[in-house]
Amino acid sequence: MLEDAFNFYYKATQLKDMLRQGAVQWEVDKKRLESIAEHTFGCMILAISLHSELNLDVDLGKTLEMLAIHELEELAIGDVTPLDNIDKKILKAKARNAVYGFVKNLNNGEKLMNLTDEYNASETQEAKFAKAVDKLECVLEFKKYQDLGQVSLSHLKPEMLHNQKLKTYVQSGKYDLADIFFLYHMDSYKSFGMDEKYWFTNLKPLNIESHSSDAEKDL
């Protein structure tokens, strides 16, 4: 029924009002922090641009559909970050049941559920690409915050370091915050050419400030 489409829309777009918790936890110095829906938009744009340049044998439409819906889980379990020291696998069943509840009345509900499962399994090329984009977009957003002077390792509090992998990077003293975010998530995207060498040679030197609007710099 058409009413089911609108009910799904209103439920899913609650993500427009849910802040990305990484930015909250790191106390990014902006008047308005990024929402989960804005992150999703960023992922979709990044997927389009990377697909254009990497010449991947990937169904872009399917990838974009995965990216559009995979954050629905967070309506039930929240935006879990590495600082929470929670294994998302523990919340997997709760999240899946919630997503099923959101899509079950749609004619394409089974298809959307299958896409969610495919994304989480990360076995197909589309799922691997979608996950790579999801993690890399987060890194690029934090690089922008860092380049604009809105966040740095100075925001770190000792009680935030439950995650041993993050702790190791921080205690090495070799990396800034954007470096650490890239290295932490690198397993997700290194097969697409985004490895440590590429970061320090190509991505890290990018002047993000030159791509930011004056209004954003003032935030």
| Residue ranges per structural domain of the chain | 2-218
- Can you tell me the distance from the alpha carbon of 170 to that of 173, in angstroms, rounded to the nearest whole number? 6
pLDDT score for 93: 86
The average pLDDT across 61-67 equals: 97
pLDDT score for 105: 95
Examine the pLDDT at 158 and tell me if it is beyond 90: no
Q: What is the number of other CB atoms lying within 10 angstroms of the CB of residue 101?
A: 14
DSSP letter at 207?
-
pLDDT score for 162: 81
With bands split at pLDDT 50, 70 and 90, how would you rate the model's confidence at 215? Answer: low
Percentage above 70 pLDDT, the chain: 95
pLDDT score for 90: 77
Answer left, alpha or beta for residue 165, where phi above 0 means left and psi between -120 and 50 means alpha: alpha
Q: Domain spanning 2-218 has what CATH number?
A: 1.10.3210.10
Burial group, residue 126, by CB count within 10 angstroms (0-12, 13-18, 19+): buried
The average pLDDT across 144-164 equals: 89
Angle, CA 145 vertex, CA 199 and CA 170 arms, to 5°: 60
Angle, CA 34 vertex, CA 181 and CA 128 arms, to 5°: 50
Average predicted confidence (pLDDT) for the chain: 91
